[in-house]
Structure 1
């Protein structure tokens, strides 16, 4: 379900009707006269414009050939030497390594690396322990090892439009009554068939500041 944000400004209201024909009828008329706290005010009913967004599917696959390595110590050696040490260390099958390595991507700034093995399924050798010994500079370090996920975005589709069942009320004048009372008066007016209204599912009125709401598509 896509969630579409909308910003409701001061002295505005959102009304969601059970029947979308009611919303369209009120929007078509446009100007409506409403009695608020014994004051007659003119408000405008307009469609709710929904912001443009993007709908997509995210597919996650755990790689059988790659692993993520972190907590790599920063040693006073060039990056290519560090890549060689990582390759030698994770190649050794007698220590539970994955065998022949196709590529090592090393990032000194974050102390991380992605190691790609030549044999499919080699990454499963590291599933039993989140730590792996790393021998360098005469010491044994403990590196953190985790599965590598390949992410793919599919079925990307833009969406936009207007809400069919919800309308926006503009131009609601400030009166002495509190926000809840004004909201009740608005709801009473627009649920009456004699005013062109109908059954209301939801209503939100903002007298001060602003509010953020989400529409579900």
Structure 2
């Protein structure tokens, strides 16, 4: 059984490039990776460095860099290094459905007013029959799109507005030409995942809670950037102390 995905609203913005790409849906993975307490993620600038660290598996990390201590007083910890494997979508099938009572309103003006105030103005305009509208059942701003979905209580209202394509709306001190488009919703009918290894990132585990968060992060970075330890230039370090939990976000490199 395929894992359930959270509902995600998507908007087509009308951009089509090459003809051969018109049937393709481009996905940008954003992976959230749970990070348990007593572990760290360290990303190197070069993949070959990460591979060397993983091959060694166990590392002894010196925690007293910069301090003049006797050998018996020095603090060292053993940590385990492992690769980071995540699941990425390799194939996706969607079923698109047109909502017969909803419209997508775009080309909205930048008026410098709160979203709720703009939604109120749109609802007032589109609820009037003289403007070709009707009773508005719901309204919603789509995240990061600057577009609004309006759903009407009666059938037929949305179809007539969509047929017009554009409409002049009085918003603020002037009239603005807004674009009216069909509102489509999609359901994922098939999703295939494949494992993928992060080539530059290493998972360190078994880190005891013997230093504060920042000193431990610094100690790990100092150790693993040393060429004499098989390390190299470190890009980022994320450390979660024992007893806590974190979430690392992976994006396309």
TM-score normalized by the length of structure 2: 0.51
Question: Per-residue CA shift, 1:30-75, capped at 9, x if unaligned?
Answer: 11111124322211000112145577699x99x8xx5538xxxxxx
- CA distance in 1: counterparts of 2:220 and 2:193, whole angstroms: 35
Larger Cα-atom Rg: 1
2:54 is matched with which residue: 16, 19, 27?
Answer: 27
Question: Per-residue CA shift, 1:155-191, capped at 9, x if unaligned?
Answer: 966343221100010001121x311111111110000
- Residue 46 of structure 2 is aligned to residue 46 of structure 1: no
1:184 is matched with which residue: 198, 218, 221?
Answer: 218
- CA distance in 2: counterparts of 1:122 and 1:181, whole angstroms: 60
Residues 112 and 42 of structure 1, relative CA distance in 2, 3 Å threshold: same
Higher relative contact order (CA 8 A, sep 6+): 1
- Residue 208 of structure 2 is aligned to residue 173 of structure 1: yes
Q: What is the CA distance between 1:148 and its match in structure 2? A: 2.9
Question: Per-residue CA shift, 1:191-215, capped at 9, x if unaligned?
Answer: 0011010000000111141111211
In the alignment, which residue of structure 2 is the partner of 1:17? Answer: 44
Residues 122 and 3 of structure 1, relative CA distance in 2, 3 Å threshold: closer
Q: What residue ranges of structure 2 are gaps of 5+ in the alignment? A: 1-27, 65-73, 104-129, 133-150, 171-179
Q: What residue ranges of structure 1 are gaps of 5+ in the alignment? A: 70-94, 98-109, 131-145
Q: What is the CA distance between 1:152 and its match in structure 2? A: 5.6
Q: What is the CA distance between 1:115 and its match in structure 2? A: 2.9
When structure 1 is superposed on structure 2, of 184-193 and 37-46 the one drifting more is 37-46
In the alignment, which residue of structure 2 is the partner of 1:123? Answer: 163
Whether the 8 Å CA contact 1:68–1:115 is kept in 2: the answer is: no
- CA distance in 2: counterparts of 1:2 and 1:55, whole angstroms: 13
SS of corresponding position for 2:208? coil
- CA distance in 1: counterparts of 2:225 and 2:238, whole angstroms: 14
- CA distance in 2: counterparts of 1:34 and 1:124, whole angstroms: 69
SS of corresponding position for 1:180? helix
Whether the 8 Å CA contact 1:67–1:114 is kept in 2: the answer is: yes
